[in-house]
Structure 1
Amino acid sequence: MEDYRISTGVRGLDLMLRGGLIPGRVYLVKGAPGTGKTTLGMHFAMAGVLNGENVLYITLEEPGINIRKDFSKLGFDVNNPSFTLIDATPTTEHYVLIEDYFEKFAKNLNKLTESIEEEYKIRRYSRVVIDPISMLKVAATTEAEYRRSFLAFVKVMAKLKATVMLISEIEKSDIEEYLVDGVIELKLIESGDELVRLLKIKKFRGSGFDHRIRRYSLTDRGMIVHYGDDGS
């Protein structure tokens, strides 16, 4: 069905996307630290869990134990058996225990791609979150090497028919924005004596979308994108 969409887990963003994301494609969420990128990634992951899907979440920066603790407080079902969290962080108190995951998933983008393919042989995942992909860009020896690896990654994800959300802290991205199917940007700006959070969709292949910049909030229930005129 051509018009079939899947939810991001954030109602206001789904409305901006005219119903949600097109499944089986790769999307980029970019923004500075503290803008709520991981929160959006977790909303996307949990929307899959609620829909009865198997979800793979790979963390390359924030220790998995912190992610489970923080998001369980927000009411996210992070201990659901359909949700697989792989901690591939390079530095942690438990580094010895997760070193194997770091070597498999975080050494470079090629290793990550191969390891995801291996995970698919064990369990079929329909959604994948990589948080953040920028860690692997920094690890690349050359820009050309990273470009080749990223193109191969996108092709493999298409073959697996996974819907992928990549999180990036590099605000000026190049090859990622060119090759992915959609780009969502989060910004945090000063307005008078307050900080304002703004979201915009920069790219969304295969569909029309809301081009307006919308305010969003991070609350004790997660992310809320204020889509309506009533502030909802």
Structure 2
Amino acid sequence: MITYNLGIRFSPLEGIVRGTIPFGTTWQVRGESGAGKSTLGFQFLMQGLRQGESAVYVACDEPATRVREDMNFFGFSTEPYEQEGKLVLVDTYESSDPRVLCIKDRGDSQEFLYILTRIVRQMPRPCRLILDSLTSLSAVYSTKAFISLIQDKNRLLRDPEVVIMDIYLKSTLEEAGMYALTNAYDVCLDLLFPDEKGGVPQRSLRIHKLRTSGYDPRPFPCFIKQGVGLVVDKEFYVR
């Protein structure tokens, strides 16, 4: 088994990564619909909060109030962390919930970057920032403008005590655009449905890219467990 010593503690990667993935890195998660991308984002957020870190969750696909309901239903209670100021939910829709901060015009890149930067700078450190899903945001920009937005976001928010996780549907951009987008990240994770068992697609997690340390590039089977998130079979290749 590979020795695991992660600066950013995240259980799905234990046993797959050698060495340390530090704060100050940018992460990209890609996957098909239903592969578990949002669940992985919830898990990344909650594991940080439970370790005393802070978190910002930007809801791009649905209202943040519904995201809160989804997390609570899954077994991730957000209210204590929101009350402590450790968790902030951000909406890219209009919201009447006073606990939710809003980016009212998702098509205004300057507003998006200004509000997001202001929120993250006010959070206790260390902080995890999750944006789910940027596929929705990409629909209101040209490919060139969207890639520029992501590059600017990562540059403005890069901080030795902040980690950024951006979540995408696999087919967000065409191949050339997706390749250019991948260059904006230090860590790239793929959630796959490569095999079927009894006619049911079997999820796998694969590290596609990791700049900071060594890793096992093979796909590892995983499943979703209520109240936990993705559980990865780290022993799959040694049995």
State the TM-score bracket (shorter-chain normalisation). Answer: 0.7 to 0.9
1:1-232 correspondence to structure 2 within 5 Å:
5-8=7-10, 11-18=11-18, 21-79=21-79, 80=81, 81=84, 82-89=86-93, 95=94, 97=96, 101-103=102-104, 106-124=106-124, 126-140=127-141, 142-159=142-159, 161-171=161-171, 172=175, 173-191=178-196, 192-221=198-227, 222-229=229-236
Structure 2 residue identity aligned to 1:87: D
Any idea what the Cα deviations from partners look like across 1:177-225, whole Å, max 9, x if unmatched? 1110010000124525221111110000020011111001012232111
Is the Cα–Cα contact under 8 Å of residues 131 and 167 in structure 1 kept in the other structure? yes
Normalised to the residue count of structure 2, the TM-score between the two structures is: 0.81
Helix, strand or coil at the partner of 2:52: coil
Question: For the Cα contact (< 8 Å) 2:91–2:101, is it kept in 1?
Answer: no
Decide whether the 8 Å contact of 2:56 with 2:120 is kept in 1.
no
The runs of 5 or more residues in structure 2 that have no matched partner are none
Task: Tell me the secondary structure at the aligned position of residue 209 of structure 1.
Answer: coil
CA distance in 2, matches of 1:121, 1:211: 34
Q: Which amino acid aligns with 1:97?
A: S
Q: 1:78 to 1:21 in 2, by over 3 A?
A: farther
Task: Please state how far the C-alpha of 1:44 moved relative to its aligned partner.
Answer: 0.8
Q: Which of the two has greater helix per residue?
A: 1
What's the Cα RMSD here? 2.7
Between the aligned partners of 2:139 and 2:123, the Cα distance in structure 1 is 29
Between the aligned partners of 1:170 and 1:117, the Cα distance in structure 2 is 26
Partner Cα separation in structure 2 for residue 207 and residue 36 of structure 1:
25
The one-letter amino acid of 2:218's match is R
CA distance in structure 2 between the aligned counterparts of 1:135 and 1:157, rounded to whole angstroms: 21
C-alpha distance in 2 between matches for 1:71 and 1:229: 29
- Per-residue displacement from partner, 1:89-113 (whole Å, max 9, x unpaired)? 4xxxxx4637982425x33444322
Distance 1:210 1:30 in 2: 18
Q: Read off the aligned partner of 1:5 and give its amino acid letter.
A: G
Shift of 1:174: 2.6
TM-score norm. by structure 1 comes to 0.83
One-letter amino acid of the structure 2 residue matched with residue 131 of structure 1? D
Q: Distance in 2 between matches of 1:201 and 1:58?
A: 23
Contact 1:13 1:20 in 2 (8 A): no
Q: Which runs of 5+ in 1 are unaligned?
A: 90-94
1:64 positional shift: 2.1
